[in-house]
Amino acid sequence: MWETAAAGFSAMGSEARLKVLRTLVRAGQAGLTVGEIQERTGIAPSTLAHHLRFLAAGGVVEQEKVGRSTINRACYDELRNLAQFILAECCADEVGKAANDG
């Protein structure tokens, strides 16, 4: 799980990629074509293609070829897994501390 989490968080490791990912999250399961993402983000097509490849390699975006277009979707299950991973031990030390302070 550590390697998968590291890859996912690394994929989101730039402002532009976060912008693309949030755009795809907003779009829902229908996803967006590269052109639609470009319109919504203003990121140049060649740069956008690079960011989408990085996000797909990190497992947080999936790409599906439909005719001549590629539909890009956020991988909601993987994003939930990443959120759970980072929050799994939330506040665990506070519980032990509160017991020792009493």
Residue 1 pLDDT: 83
Instruction: List the CATH code of the domain at 2-101.
Output: 1.10.10.10
CA–CA distance, 33 with 12 (Å, rounded to integer): 19
The model's pLDDT over 60-85, given as tens digits with 9 standing for 90+, comes to: 999 999 999 999 999 999 999 999 99
The percent of residues above 70 in pLDDT, for the chain, comes to 92
Positive or negative CA dihedral for 47, 10, 54, 84? negative
CA distances to 33, 62, 70, 71, 101 from 67, in Å = 12, 16, 8, 10, 64
Residue 101 pLDDT: 64
Of 19, 36, 18, give the one whose Cα is nearest residue 72.
36
The model's pLDDT over 12-43, given as tens digits with 9 standing for 90+, comes to: 999 999 999 999 999 999 999 999 999 999 99
**Which residues are 44's β-sheet partners?**
none
The model's pLDDT over 40-58, given as tens digits with 9 standing for 90+, comes to: 999 999 999 999 999 999 9
Instruction: List strand residue ranges (DSSP E) for the chain, in order.
Output: 32-33, 61-66, 69-74
Residue 97 pLDDT: 67
